[in-house]
Protein backbone atom coordinates (compact mmCIF):
# COMPACT_ATOMS: atom_id res chain seq x y z
CA UNK A 1 0.00 0.00 0.00
CA UNK A 2 2.55 2.57 -1.01
CA UNK A 3 2.01 4.97 -3.84
CA UNK A 4 4.81 7.42 -4.45
CA UNK A 5 2.79 10.51 -3.95
CA UNK A 6 2.40 13.54 -1.76
CA UNK A 7 -0.32 15.74 -0.37
CA UNK A 8 -0.97 19.36 -1.01
CA UNK A 9 -0.83 21.27 2.27
CA UNK A 10 -2.13 24.76 2.69
CA UNK A 11 -2.64 27.19 5.54
CA UNK A 12 -4.52 30.47 5.47
CA UNK A 13 -2.33 33.25 4.14
CA UNK A 14 0.52 30.94 3.19
CA UNK A 15 1.65 29.39 -0.06
CA UNK A 16 0.55 25.79 -0.46
CA UNK A 17 3.18 23.13 -1.07
CA UNK A 18 3.42 19.41 -1.72
CA UNK A 19 4.53 17.23 1.13
CA UNK A 20 5.33 13.54 0.88
CA UNK A 21 5.06 11.87 4.29
CA UNK A 22 6.70 8.79 2.77
CA UNK A 23 4.32 6.30 4.34
CA UNK A 24 0.64 5.91 5.23
CA UNK A 25 0.83 6.09 9.03
CA UNK A 26 2.72 9.39 8.96
CA UNK A 27 0.32 10.76 6.37
CA UNK A 28 -2.49 10.37 8.91
CA UNK A 29 -0.67 12.92 11.09
CA UNK A 30 -1.56 15.58 8.52
CA UNK A 31 -5.19 15.45 9.68
CA UNK A 32 -4.44 17.28 12.94
CA UNK A 33 -3.51 16.30 16.47
CA UNK A 34 -3.42 17.31 20.09
CA UNK A 35 -2.04 20.44 21.75
CA UNK A 36 -0.78 23.03 19.28
CA UNK A 37 -1.55 20.62 16.43
CA UNK A 38 -5.26 20.99 17.22
CA UNK A 39 -5.39 24.11 15.07
CA UNK A 40 -4.97 21.82 12.03
CA UNK A 41 -7.75 19.42 13.09
CA UNK A 42 -9.65 18.07 10.09
CA UNK A 43 -11.38 15.09 11.70
CA UNK A 44 -14.41 16.43 13.52
CA UNK A 45 -16.96 13.87 12.33
CA UNK A 46 -16.87 10.33 10.89
CA UNK A 47 -17.74 11.96 7.55
CA UNK A 48 -14.54 14.03 7.73
CA UNK A 49 -12.48 10.86 8.01
CA UNK A 50 -14.44 9.20 5.19
CA UNK A 51 -13.72 12.24 3.02
CA UNK A 52 -10.01 12.25 3.88
CA UNK A 53 -9.31 8.55 3.28
CA UNK A 54 -9.53 8.79 -0.55
CA UNK A 55 -6.96 11.63 -0.43
CA UNK A 56 -4.47 9.40 1.38
CA UNK A 57 -1.91 7.18 -0.27
CA UNK A 58 -3.92 4.06 0.73
CA UNK A 59 -5.53 4.11 -2.74
CA UNK A 60 -8.91 2.97 -1.41
CA UNK A 61 -11.26 5.01 -3.57
CA UNK A 62 -14.13 6.89 -2.01
CA UNK A 63 -16.48 4.11 -0.87
CA UNK A 64 -15.41 4.02 2.75
CA UNK A 65 -17.90 3.55 5.60
CA UNK A 66 -16.71 5.23 8.77
CA UNK A 67 -18.53 4.78 12.09
CA UNK A 68 -18.33 7.07 15.15
CA UNK A 69 -16.23 4.36 16.84
CA UNK A 70 -13.79 4.46 13.91
CA UNK A 71 -13.30 8.17 14.44
CA UNK A 72 -12.42 7.56 18.11
CA UNK A 73 -9.93 4.86 17.08
CA UNK A 74 -8.47 7.11 14.38
CA UNK A 75 -7.76 9.92 16.83
CA UNK A 76 -6.25 7.54 19.38
CA UNK A 77 -4.12 5.85 16.72
CA UNK A 78 -3.02 9.21 15.31
CA UNK A 79 -1.89 10.47 18.73
CA UNK A 80 0.06 7.25 19.31
CA UNK A 81 1.76 7.48 15.91
CA UNK A 82 2.58 11.16 16.54
CA UNK A 83 4.35 10.33 19.82
CA UNK A 84 6.12 7.29 18.38
CA UNK A 85 7.32 9.26 15.36
CA UNK A 86 8.55 12.19 17.47
CA UNK A 87 10.41 9.75 19.72
CA UNK A 88 11.92 7.91 16.73
CA UNK A 89 12.91 11.16 14.99
CA UNK A 90 14.73 12.31 18.14
CA UNK A 91 16.88 9.18 17.94
CA UNK A 92 15.28 7.51 20.94
CA UNK A 93 13.62 4.10 20.94
CA UNK A 94 11.95 4.57 24.33
CA UNK A 95 8.45 4.07 22.95
CA UNK A 96 5.52 4.04 25.32
CA UNK A 97 4.03 0.58 25.86
CA UNK A 98 0.55 2.11 25.72
CA UNK A 99 1.24 3.58 22.28
CA UNK A 100 2.56 0.25 21.00
CA UNK A 101 -0.57 -1.45 22.37
CA UNK A 102 -2.72 1.09 20.49
CA UNK A 103 -0.97 0.09 17.25
CA UNK A 104 -1.39 -3.59 17.97
CA UNK A 105 -5.09 -3.25 18.78
CA UNK A 106 -5.86 -1.45 15.52
CA UNK A 107 -3.62 -3.79 13.50
CA UNK A 108 -5.49 -6.83 14.85
CA UNK A 109 -8.62 -5.88 12.85
CA UNK A 110 -8.88 -7.26 9.31
CA UNK A 111 -7.33 -4.95 6.68
CA UNK A 112 -8.95 -4.05 3.31
CA UNK A 113 -9.42 -7.05 1.03
CA UNK A 114 -7.67 -6.89 -2.34
CA UNK A 115 -9.66 -8.09 -5.36
CA UNK A 116 -8.89 -8.50 -9.03
CA UNK A 117 -11.54 -7.18 -11.40
CA UNK A 118 -12.74 -8.51 -14.80
CA UNK A 119 -10.32 -6.23 -16.66
CA UNK A 120 -7.56 -7.63 -14.43
CA UNK A 121 -7.44 -4.41 -12.48
CA UNK A 122 -6.46 -4.53 -8.87
CA UNK A 123 -8.96 -2.96 -6.49
CA UNK A 124 -10.37 -3.30 -2.99
CA UNK A 125 -13.53 -5.21 -2.07
CA UNK A 126 -16.03 -2.48 -1.32
CA UNK A 127 -17.27 -0.98 0.77
CA UNK A 128 -14.10 -0.63 2.77
CA UNK A 129 -14.81 0.14 6.43
CA UNK A 130 -13.03 2.71 8.56
CA UNK A 131 -11.86 -0.17 10.78
CA UNK A 132 -10.17 -1.81 7.79
CA UNK A 133 -8.51 1.44 6.80
CA UNK A 134 -7.24 2.00 10.36
CA UNK A 135 -5.94 -1.56 10.40
CA UNK A 136 -3.95 -0.74 7.25
CA UNK A 137 -2.59 2.40 8.94
CA UNK A 138 -1.66 0.46 12.10
CA UNK A 139 -0.02 -2.36 10.12
CA UNK A 140 2.02 0.24 8.26
CA UNK A 141 3.05 1.72 11.62
CA UNK A 142 4.05 -1.75 12.89
CA UNK A 143 6.28 -2.11 9.78
CA UNK A 144 7.82 1.32 10.29
CA UNK A 145 8.41 1.28 14.06
CA UNK A 146 9.14 -2.43 14.29
CA UNK A 147 11.81 -2.62 11.58
CA UNK A 148 14.83 -0.91 10.06
CA UNK A 149 12.66 1.92 8.66
CA UNK A 150 12.46 3.35 12.18
CA UNK A 151 15.91 4.86 11.59
CA UNK A 152 14.45 6.78 8.65
CA UNK A 153 11.69 8.56 10.58
CA UNK A 154 12.57 12.25 10.59
CA UNK A 155 11.22 15.59 11.62
CA UNK A 156 11.74 18.42 9.16
CA UNK A 157 14.85 20.44 10.00
CA UNK A 158 13.04 23.71 9.36
CA UNK A 159 12.69 26.21 12.15
CA UNK A 160 9.27 25.80 13.79
CA UNK A 161 8.33 23.02 11.33
CA UNK A 162 7.21 19.81 12.97
CA UNK A 163 6.28 17.79 9.91
CA UNK A 164 7.26 14.14 10.28
CA UNK A 165 8.17 11.91 7.36
CA UNK A 166 9.76 8.62 6.42
CA UNK A 167 12.90 9.27 4.41
CA UNK A 168 12.58 6.85 1.49
CA UNK A 169 15.42 8.39 -0.51
CA UNK A 170 18.28 6.05 -1.37
CA UNK A 171 21.02 7.96 0.40
CA UNK A 172 18.72 8.66 3.36
CA UNK A 173 19.68 12.31 3.51
CA UNK A 174 16.27 13.97 3.28
CA UNK A 175 16.14 16.87 5.74
CA UNK A 176 13.13 18.90 4.73
CA UNK A 177 9.38 18.50 4.53
CA UNK A 178 9.69 20.01 1.09
CA UNK A 179 12.41 21.76 -0.88
CA UNK A 180 9.82 24.34 -1.98
CA UNK A 181 9.24 25.32 1.62
CA UNK A 182 11.76 24.68 4.42
CA UNK A 183 14.55 23.61 2.05
CA UNK A 184 14.48 26.91 0.20
CA UNK A 185 14.13 28.96 3.36
CA UNK A 186 17.24 27.30 4.71
CA UNK A 187 19.12 27.93 1.47
CA UNK A 188 18.16 31.61 1.51
CA UNK A 189 19.14 31.95 5.16
CA UNK A 190 22.59 30.36 4.70
CA UNK A 191 23.17 32.56 1.66
CA UNK A 192 22.24 35.64 3.71
CA UNK A 193 24.49 34.55 6.58
CA UNK A 194 27.38 34.17 4.16
CA UNK A 195 26.75 37.52 2.46
CA UNK A 196 25.30 39.73 5.22
CA UNK A 197 25.44 42.77 2.89
CA UNK A 198 22.71 41.26 0.64
Chain contacts with Zn ion (rule: CB under 5 A): 156, 158, 161, 163, 177, 182
d(C-alpha 13, C-alpha 193), whole Å: 27
Least gap, CB of 6 to Zn ion (angstroms): 13
CB nearer to Zn ion: give 53 or 177. Answer: 177
Distances (CA, A) of 136 to 28, 149, 179: 11, 17, 29
CB nearer to Zn ion: give 37 or 161. Answer: 161
d(C-alpha 95, C-alpha 196), whole Å: 43
Least gap, CB of 73 to Zn ion (angstroms): 28
CB nearer to Zn ion: give 14 or 194. Answer: 14
Least gap, CB of 131 to Zn ion (angstroms): 32
Q: Is the peptide bond before 15 cis (omega within 30 degrees of 0)?
A: no
19 close to 27: Cβ distance less than 8 angstroms: no
d(C-alpha 24, C-alpha 30), whole Å: 10
Tell me whether strands 64-65 and 128-129 are parallel, antiparallel or unpaired: parallel
d(C-alpha 111, C-alpha 62), whole Å: 16
CA angle 100, 101, 104 (to 5 degrees): 90
Least gap, CB of 149 to Zn ion (angstroms): 20
Least gap, CB of 9 to Zn ion (angstroms): 10
CB nearer to Zn ion: give 60 or 164. Answer: 164
CB nearer to Zn ion: give 60 or 177. Answer: 177
Amino acid sequence: MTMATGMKLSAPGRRSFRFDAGTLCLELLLTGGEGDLAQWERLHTPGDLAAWIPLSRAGLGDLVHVSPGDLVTALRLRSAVQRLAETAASGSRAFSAADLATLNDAAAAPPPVPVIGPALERAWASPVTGTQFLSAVARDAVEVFGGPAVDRVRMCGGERCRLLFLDTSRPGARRWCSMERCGNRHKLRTRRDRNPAD
